[in-house]
Amino acid sequence: MGSITTESLAAMLALIGAVIIVSSLLSGFVERSNFPQVAAFLLFGAVLGPSGVGVLDVDLQSPVLRVVATLSLGLVLFIDALTLNLPEVRKNFSLAGAILGPGTILATVVIGLGGHYMLGLSPPLAAILAAALASTDPVLLRGLLRRPDLPGPARLSLRLESGLNDVVLLPVVLVAMALAGTGGSKSLDAPKLVLQMLVLGPGAGAIVALVGIATLEVVRRKVGVRRDYESIYSLGICFAAFAAAEALHGSGFLAAFAAGLTIAALDVELCDCFQEYGETTAEMLLMFTFVLLGASLIWSGMGILTAAVIGFTLVALAARPVSLWATLTPMKIERRSRAIIAWFGPRGLSTLLLVLVPVFAGTPGSEQLFQIASVVVLTSVLVHGGSIMFFGRGAFRKGGAAAPATTESKPLRPLPVAPSESTVEAPPEGTYPELMTPQEILALMEQGEDVRLLDVRLGRSFLEATHDLEVAERLDPEHARDAARAMALPKDSWPALFCT
């Protein structure tokens, strides 16, 4: 192992700082324009790579890439499980089962057959590639899921799929890796593999989570825990679960997911920072991984472009829409939502992280899989990311038209109590005077007042909502002033705010 020089350390710190600064400064632009954040960081990596200024050159055996990619996948699986709304999953069990069962499996089988017969891959390698390419990327979907005009069924379905299908596909990758490493199923120790995947990994993750949360509650109750330290506690549980499973020769990735799922099932009262810091750290690692891959690795797929690879790319991108459309057709989901669900299944970093697992494990032939997956991911970023940009504000509402907005930016008028001469009754004594009942709002509308219904639910409440307010406009409460100016709310309007 080579020593780390002062120059290399300084260059790495500079790169980390640049990624954080650029991601922060681009966040507003990305949110408003729906420009794929993934594309921005791939281009940033290309600028820094050998074909650009030449300050970043990473190969598949780079220790930095291995550490960052491993941390990224582990944290993504942990956060996906931690943020899982289990009552929502139980309520929509048939939908989740259809998407994660027939929908995902059928797409995986079709892609696997394409890899075997079109590219000549062995069955284990074809299965690894298929499982990786069947993964729906939550990073590319993040901007879409935050859009207020996205129908509720589509938001729910895409959130469930992007948050859960990696844990369905990861075992496929692990089993196929074992088969590829042995050269066939005859020498495969199936009982040991099942023990590692279903017992050691998840068991270690669950135990670490139980002990970690129980300890946190005891210390918090008797001594107290500072909020900033509770925020990083989530990272400790995730990494400890991963390490415990790996020490037992289980899957650290499955352990990370099991740890997050255990905490979600416990339904304990945790500081919002517990989840938010983990999400922020995962976001930073994901962006850093994209920069590393964008330097040169992801573009290596352009060197293997053949008719067979192009044909396989089309099959890989078409498999999911066809399988999900067929799976969801018998269910009571409106055609518009079903079309959105079927189309928006981008392949991105989750695909590359899954295909890097066998690369880091030294599975024979896995480097070729990374190149093929890179072609599909780049095509998906262009096609799916571009289509998210193409559909402007309000495009997903019924009718497809966005609500007209005035061009003049005016200050927001606060919501006052109804005037005494109005036919609207004042709120009962003792209540908050700024609150208005739905009856009062309707009365104002009947009097010809300009009432603007604004949905100001916080991010998590808004994303996890099972119902939409189609008559309301979305105003981000975390940036209320900028949002109000962008919407050009008339100063003589009555803003009626909805929150939960």
Identify whether residues 457 and 358 lie together within a single domain.
no
* Residue 146: closest CA among 407, 415, 499, 396: 396
Amino acid at 238: C
Identify whether residues 224 and 196 lie together within a single domain.
yes
Higher pLDDT, 88 or 338: 338
Residues 6+ apart with CB under 8 A from 183: none
Identify whether residues 353 and 378 lie together within a single domain.
yes
Whether the per-residue pLDDT at 288 is higher than 50: the answer is: yes
Higher pLDDT, 425 or 397: 397
Whether the per-residue pLDDT at 314 is higher than 80: the answer is: yes
Q: What was the pLDDT predicted at 167? A: 85
Is there a domain that residue 264 lies in?
yes
Q: What is the mean pLDDT of residues 111-138?
A: 94
Q: What is the mean pLDDT of residues 429-455?
A: 70
Is there a domain that residue 489 lies in?
yes
Is there a domain that residue 397 lies in?
no
Identify whether residues 311 and 411 lie together within a single domain.
no
Identify whether residues 384 and 414 lie together within a single domain.
no
Whether the per-residue pLDDT at 205 is higher than 90: the answer is: yes
Q: What was the pLDDT predicted at 321? A: 93
Whether the per-residue pLDDT at 106 is higher than 90: the answer is: yes
Q: What is the mean pLDDT of residues 232-241?
A: 91
Whether the per-residue pLDDT at 115 is higher than 90: the answer is: yes
Confidence band, pLDDT 50/70/90 cuts, at residue 250: confident
Contacts 24+ apart (CB under 8 A), 262-269: 262/205, 262/206, 262/209, 262/210, 262/213, 263/81, 263/82, 263/209, 263/213, 263/237, 264/81, 264/82, 264/83, 264/84, 264/86, 265/86, 266/209, 266/210, 266/213, 267/86, 268/213, 268/217
Q: What was the pLDDT predicted at 352? A: 92
Confidence band, pLDDT 50/70/90 cuts, at residue 469: low
Q: Domain count of the chain?
A: 2
Q: Which of 82-86, 286-290, 392-396, 456-460 has the lowest mean pLDDT?
A: 392-396
Q: What is the mean pLDDT of residues 223-229?
A: 82
The string over 459-493, giving b where at least 16 C-beta atoms fall within 10 Å of a residue's C-beta and e elsewhere, is eeebbebeebeeebbbbbbeeeeebbeebebbeeb
Higher pLDDT, 267 or 97: 97
Is there a domain that residue 25 lies in?
yes
List pLDDT tens digits, range 363-409: 998 999 999 999 999 999 999 888 877 765 555 655 544 443 333 33
Identify whether residues 437 and 376 lie together within a single domain.
no
Cα gap 274→267, rounded to integer Å: 13
Is there a domain that residue 402 lies in?
no
Identify whether residues 70 and 120 lie together within a single domain.
yes
Q: Which of 30-39, 117-126, 328-337, 431-440 has the lowest mean pLDDT?
A: 431-440
Q: What is the mean pLDDT of residues 227-246?
A: 89
Higher pLDDT, 408 or 77: 77
Domain end call among 390, 421, 447 = 390
Is there a domain that residue 396 lies in?
no
Q: How many beta carbons lie within 10 A of that of residue 452, not counting itself?
A: 18
Q: What was the pLDDT predicted at 146? A: 75
Q: What is the mean pLDDT of residues 234-263?
A: 92
Whether the per-residue pLDDT at 422 is higher than 50: the answer is: no
Identify whether residues 184 and 282 lie together within a single domain.
yes
- Percent of the chain topping pLDDT 70: 82
List pLDDT tens digits, range 52-65: 888 888 888 888 88
Q: What is the mean pLDDT of residues 137-144?
A: 80
Whether the per-residue pLDDT at 351 is higher than 70: the answer is: yes
What domain range includes position 58?
Answer: 6-390
Q: What was the pLDDT predicted at 460? A: 56
Whether the per-residue pLDDT at 213 is higher than 60: the answer is: yes
Q: Which of 168-172, 190-194, 265-269, 346-350 has the lowest mean pLDDT?
A: 190-194
CATH of the domain at 122: 1.20.1530.20
Q: What is the mean pLDDT of residues 428-447?
A: 66
Identify whether residues 199 and 270 lie together within a single domain.
yes
Identify whether residues 194 and 86 lie together within a single domain.
yes
Identify whether residues 217 and 267 lie together within a single domain.
yes
Whether the per-residue pLDDT at 474 is higher than 80: the answer is: no
Q: What was the pLDDT predicted at 221? A: 85
* Residue 323: closest CA among 34, 104, 115, 42: 104
Q: What is the mean pLDDT of residues 80-97?
A: 84
- The residue with tokens 């993504």 is 76
Q: What was the pLDDT predicted at 458? A: 66
Whether the per-residue pLDDT at 10 is higher than 60: the answer is: yes
Is there a domain that residue 401 lies in?
no
Is there a domain that residue 284 lies in?
yes
Q: What was the pLDDT predicted at 134? A: 94
Question: Is 426 within 8 Å of 420 (Cβ atoms)?
Answer: yes
Identify whether residues 261 and 168 lie together within a single domain.
yes
